[in-house]
Chain A
């Protein structure tokens, strides 16, 4: 299988004869015709190919030994497509793998749907698929089915990806908000705000010099280790993506009908993230992460859970940040360094930068 060199065709100011050499995605790549077939055979299969995918059927037949499976789906839209620390391909694998893992399951298979914008450079697409192959390989999941569509130039931000994940439910490990109890320790697996601020730093109109890299990472090995070492002491888990740690905590507090009290001094925020947030008038509690989860665990097991988390690179910065209180139900409250309190509510929409 060969790949065209990028830029192999020069238009040279005249209308060329129909060509099949492209360095960018054309509308025809979504036609269902030969170009579509080449898109799959030349770009996707060499990178993602496996016994399931290479059959190129309407779907994949996979063996399921467990009585229960987890299904989860997520769509990925990010501007820019490539950013410090990763690209949309990493997010598309990690995001769904993490969602499956948070449900107490071992991620096994993924499907991937791609909406490509006419004009997308194949170099970019290839780097994204490479990232997906790398991330899936490390996570031990196969991408077993996929789809590609192409939309007119101007109707998509380069590309959108949807992935659906299937995972085998671990026996005797069922983390869920209903299991949360007053007194539970509230932990985070790592420092806050790196993904969101890495994106902000390179986004058109906001560019600033920064060393911040996205934290995009697969959390499933840590979850597997927690199952082995502490099992049901983990009452609930959630990856703190959009809306940040504040939103993840609010969701669990609301579902569980408990209050959460946080200690401001113990919230881990890297100095470069803090500085960027101060500069832009943003609160790191609401900034997106792509490799951080919040955990609600039995108080007696909190130290063991922290030790397990810290023994993995993605959990090296794990901290206890608070405690579950009985009241006020559904509310997350932070104790400030001064001894005051404030509510850490869910935002009505995107966090808007403050004026001054």
Chain B
């Protein structure tokens, strides 16, 4: 199939695995930043076939996982209001808040709808003028342009019963937080290809220089990931630390300029809380004051909602690469996809769920279990 099967060819994949093994003179530790990459790595067993040569640490790039508990609680509060239709990407619906999740609010009569695009949410607002329609604007730089475009379009059309609950985060501050932590083991990064499709890669160049780490802009199919790993290993073996682009079919250095422009027009950089990690300065996006009318937090007075994250959940350590999901005492015991303690167990992009769903067999085999 065009643009899919070419990037999943098993023979080419095995050849790349051979090249990585031939190139590596020692074991290297890399972090893939994006949850979509984690999904491919674990689903295809890439970490397994590279065992002994490259260790993959799963980074904080799952938007579902890092959305802070307080924002989930605000979403639950809004979704329960009879005058609100709450719209969201699908995998936010099962993320546990302090007391329940959006699916449970829906079962109790809340109007919660899955949409694939914030522009669909805007259409729902236009066809339901007697309701307030709120879209849960989460995600990294990848989803920011469409979310910004929806707000921009709402202003253009004068649609005032539409608003967004924003919890946007950005990648470079999260990578800096990983690199600054005292127990950091990450020696190179696979940067998130789709984020770079929007943002380009110039903002990673100072990071590579300052921390002397190779950063390879990488796609999401098995061959993309293996080639990205191979490029990072080659840099490490030759002592280079540059930003390279594996995802040449989608990413240019300057990114997508019109998309960046609409993001900059609608959003401004703000401090943002990350679930399990805490507040990272200048790590998120919030609506600019001139778009306050479409900001759900201002429209609905959500300031009184506070939330305390569960102690036994070590999502923060997982997201920073300090521990593997299986090293958390709650993994698979008190925390499963059916009853998750933390968000990385919810989204199929989350490191814990990926381990549970796709890697449980290997974990059981390694432990001599069934």
- The interface bits of chain A over 337-350 (1 if a CB of B lies within 8 angstroms of the residue's CB, else 0) are 11111110101110
Which residue of B has the minimal Cβ distance to A352? B90
B8 and A353 form a contact (CB under 8 A): no
Does chain B have a CB within 8 A of A354? Answer: yes
Q: Give the complex CA separation of A345 and B337 in angstroms.
A: 11
Name the one of B8, B36, B44, B370 contacting A356, with C-beta atoms under 8 angstroms: B36
B337 and A348 form a contact (CB under 8 A): yes
Count A/B pairs, Cβ under 8 Å: 117
Residues of A with C-beta under 8 A to B42: 342
Q: Give the complex CA separation of A340 and B40 in angstroms.
A: 12
Name the one of A271, A352, A353 contacting B1, with C-beta atoms under 8 angstroms: A271
Q: Give the complex CA separation of A265 and B11 in angstroms.
A: 12
Q: A275-B4, A352-B93, A354-B348 are in contact. Are A337 and B13 (CB under 8 A)?
A: yes
Does chain A have a CB within 8 A of B91? Answer: yes
B120 and A336 form a contact (CB under 8 A): no
Which residue of A has the minimal Cβ distance to B348? A354
Residues of B with C-beta under 8 A to A354: 36, 39, 90-91, 347-349
Q: A327-B370, A342-B42, A349-B94 are in contact. Are A355 and B115 (CB under 8 A)?
A: no
A338 and B92 form a contact (CB under 8 A): no
Q: Give the complex CA separation of A353 and B45 in angstroms.
A: 22
Q: A329-B370, A339-B45 are in contact. Are A356 and B143 (CB under 8 A)?
A: yes
Interface residues of A in 225-283 (CB under 8 A from B): 265, 271, 274-275, 278, 280-281
A348 and B116 form a contact (CB under 8 A): no
Least distance between B195 CB and chain A CB atoms (Å):
9
- The interface bits of chain A over 320-335 (1 if a CB of B lies within 8 angstroms of the residue's CB, else 0) are 0000000111010100
A336 and B113 form a contact (CB under 8 A): no
Name the one of B17, B93, B194 contacting A338, with C-beta atoms under 8 angstroms: B17
Residues of A with C-beta under 8 A to B347: 354-355
A343 and B360 form a contact (CB under 8 A): yes
Name the one of A265, A336, A341, A353 contacting B91, with C-beta atoms under 8 angstroms: A353
Which residue of A has the minimal Cβ distance to B222? A338
Residues of A with C-beta under 8 A to B90: 281, 352-355
Residues of B with C-beta under 8 A to A339: 10, 14, 45, 49
Q: A328-B361, A355-B90 are in contact. Are A340 and B4 (CB under 8 A)?
A: no
A353 and B46 form a contact (CB under 8 A): no
Q: Give the complex CA separation of A349 and B336 in angstroms.
A: 13
Which residue of B has the minimal Cβ distance to A208? B116
How many positions in chain A have a CB within 8 Å of any CB in the partner chain?
31
B361 and A331 form a contact (CB under 8 A): yes
B103 and A280 form a contact (CB under 8 A): no
Residues of A with C-beta under 8 A to B143: 355-356
Does chain A have a CB within 8 A of B342? Answer: no
Q: Give the complex CA separation of A245 and B7 in angstroms.
A: 25
How many positions in chain B have a CB within 8 Å of any CB in the partner chain?
55
B49 and A338 form a contact (CB under 8 A): yes
Interface residues of B in 1-56 (CB under 8 A from A): 1, 4, 8-10, 13-14, 17, 36, 39, 42-49
Does chain A have a CB within 8 A of B188? Answer: no
Q: A205-B120, A328-B370 are in contact. Are A345 and B44 (CB under 8 A)?
A: no
Least distance between A74 CB and chain B CB atoms (Å):
23
A337 and B139 form a contact (CB under 8 A): no
Least distance between B43 CB and chain A CB atoms (Å):
6
B13 and A356 form a contact (CB under 8 A): no
Least distance between B238 CB and chain A CB atoms (Å):
26
Residues of B with C-beta under 8 A to A348: 94, 336-338
A337 and B370 form a contact (CB under 8 A): no
A275 and B1 form a contact (CB under 8 A): yes
Least distance between A258 CB and chain B CB atoms (Å):
12
A345 and B139 form a contact (CB under 8 A): no
Main secondary structure of the interface of B (DSSP, over half): helix
Q: Give the complex CA separation of A102 and B358 in angstroms.
A: 29
A343 and B45 form a contact (CB under 8 A): no
Least distance between B225 CB and chain A CB atoms (Å):
10
Least distance between A174 CB and chain B CB atoms (Å):
29
For B92, B94, B357, which residue has the most chain A Cβ atoms within 10 angstroms?
A: B357
Residues of B with C-beta under 8 A to A327: 370
Residues of A with C-beta under 8 A to B365: 328
Q: A354-B347, A356-B143 are in contact. Are A340 and B360 (CB under 8 A)?
A: no
- The interface bits of chain A over 115-153 (1 if a CB of B lies within 8 angstroms of the residue's CB, else 0) are 000000000000000000000000000000000000000
B116 and A280 form a contact (CB under 8 A): yes
Residues of A with C-beta under 8 A to B360: 331, 343, 345
Q: A342-B42, A348-B338 are in contact. Are A205 and B113 (CB under 8 A)?
A: yes
Least distance between A270 CB and chain B CB atoms (Å):
10
B222 and A343 form a contact (CB under 8 A): no
Residues of B with C-beta under 8 A to A265: 10
Q: A339-B45, A355-B349, A356-B142 are in contact. Are A333 and B116 (CB under 8 A)?
A: no
Residues of A with C-beta under 8 A to B43: 336, 342
- The interface bits of chain B over 37-81 (1 if a CB of A lies within 8 angstroms of the residue's CB, else 0) are 001001111111100000000000001100000000000000000
Does chain A have a CB within 8 A of B173? Answer: no
Interface residues of A in 172-218 (CB under 8 A from B): 205-206
Name the one of A278, A342, A352, A353 contacting B358, with C-beta atoms under 8 angstroms: A342
Q: Give the complex CA separation of A329 and B361 in angstroms.
A: 11
Does chain A have a CB within 8 A of B359? Answer: yes
A343 and B44 form a contact (CB under 8 A): no
A337 and B8 form a contact (CB under 8 A): yes
B45 and A341 form a contact (CB under 8 A): yes
Least distance between B331 CB and chain A CB atoms (Å):
14
Residues of B with C-beta under 8 A to A278: 4
A356 and B114 form a contact (CB under 8 A): no
- Across the A-B interface, give the 9 residue pairs with the lowest CB-CB distance, nearest first: A340-B45, A337-B10, A353-B90, A342-B358, A352-B90, A348-B338, A340-B48, A328-B370, A355-B89
- 18 further interface pairs, Cβ-Cβ under 8 Å (given A274-B4, A338-B10, A341-B361): A206-B116, A274-B1, A327-B370, A333-B361, A337-B44, A338-B14, A339-B14, A340-B45, A340-B48, A342-B42, A342-B357, A347-B337, A348-B336, A352-B114, A353-B90, A353-B116, A354-B90, A355-B347
Interface residues of A, Cβ cutoff 8 Å to B? 205-206, 265, 271, 274-275, 278, 280-281, 327-329, 331, 333, 336-343, 345, 347-349, 352-356
Interface residues of B, Cβ cutoff 8 Å to A? 1, 4, 8-10, 13-14, 17, 36, 39, 42-49, 63-64, 89-94, 103, 113-116, 120, 138-139, 142-143, 194, 222, 336-338, 347-349, 356-362, 364-365, 369-370
6 A-B residue pairs with Cβ-Cβ distance under 8 Å, sorted by A, are A278-B4, A337-B8, A340-B45, A354-B347, A355-B63, A355-B143
